[in-house]
Structure 1
């Protein structure tokens, strides 16, 4: 029992300590934090095919020690620009924002990474479904950093409504497990399993994409079996990387 206790303690606190150390790399103000392009999105003018990219970046300030901020960008076939969707907790107006920043912009000093990407034939219908899911997000005027609803709650909603994405949202995306009091049981965000969650404070997720993940006070840890890795607070994942680039035909199976 002692070995189990210290193993679980290390599983939670070591990744958190490493995440805090990484998050302290930028200590400036939000006013002068870099928000330029990270160079991850293709040039829309030179890309005739349809594109969907889903991004995540370390949240700003102390929130970045334990949490991430995601967003979605879409471009239909032949379109000359991307449209960006996300939920933001400041800036006035409703929390759901459209084109709040550059499609692949740095998130207040944090470099984003691509969680999933679809391109080519069959992606235009996928964009239709994503935009329909954005329109039905139930917390457009609400934002709470912990335990939600927040930007990760928004992404989880879109993922559930569009299970073709098979989106595995990382363990450090605090808010992804937030559920309203009258709907504690739902499909896992990836659409490949089931989730039971009480206000995002405690619960469990079982899915082909997610593996097994336990939520305790918004901190998640577990085991990804499909692509072997530990799911941990702060860092999100330790192990084999996710498959970011998806075949377009997967989106319309």
Structure 2
């Protein structure tokens, strides 16, 4: 009796947490938490985390780094994504956008770190240098890493002035140690 009840509850929970079962239709809308580059002219560094896609979001987050130089019209988002490796591409990639705080396939991001102004302007070149040296740019392993959480954690170790404190659910962030 209890075994059946436990299985039924587990099935219900898993189906509820995977409401975004189709990544193609999951929201990628801006969350509205990043400073707009049209109004914020100072340099900005933001680190975001959002629940991982589907049922994985119950256990883990996906994290990424966004930087914007002073007076820039766009952010540069830097992240590691496993499906890119499966397609023969580097796991690490960067792209420019005005909306670095987009939902991660249906999950609203939260700010992990935010630095604005002169401090951000001084740290961005250090971050970019660390990104260029990231040792696992072409690798992705869900567990124990390297994965999307290993990347910001490693950058944080290379640029200790960031004082980056990764979330508990950033599985793989310890791989960078």
Q: Give the TM-score category using the shorter length.
A: 0.7 to 0.9
Deviation at 1:65, TM superposition (A): 1.8
Q: How does 1:113-128 map to 2 (within 5 A)?
A: 113-128=110-125
- Note the residue ranges of structure 1 that are not aligned, 5 or more in a row: 1-16, 180-185, 187-253
The answer to whether residue 136 in structure 2 is matched with residue 139 in structure 1 is yes
Match runs of 1:13-162 below 5 Å:
24=17, 26-91=19-84, 92=87, 93-99=89-95, 102-162=99-159
Secondary structure of the residue that 1:168 maps to in structure 2? coil
Deviation of 1:90 after TM superposition, in Å, equals 0.9
Q: Give how far 1:35 is off.
A: 0.3
2:18–2:55 contact (8 Å) kept in structure 1 = no
- Structure 2: any 5+ residue segments left out of the alignment? 1-9
Q: Structure with the greater relative contact order (CA < 8 A, sep ≥ 6): 1 or 2? A: 2
Q: Is the 8 A contact 1:87 1:95 kept in 2?
A: yes
Give the alignment's TM-score, normalised by structure 1: 0.60
Q: Structure 2: how far apart are the matches of 1:100 and 1:58?
A: 22
CA root-mean-square deviation: 2.0
Q: Give aligned pairs, total.
A: 162
Rounded Cα–Cα distance in structure 2 between residues aligned with 1:142 and 1:100 = 22
Q: Give 1:22 deviation, angstroms.
A: 10
Higher helix share: 2
Task: Provide runs of 4+ in structure 1 moved above 3 Å.
Answer: 20-23
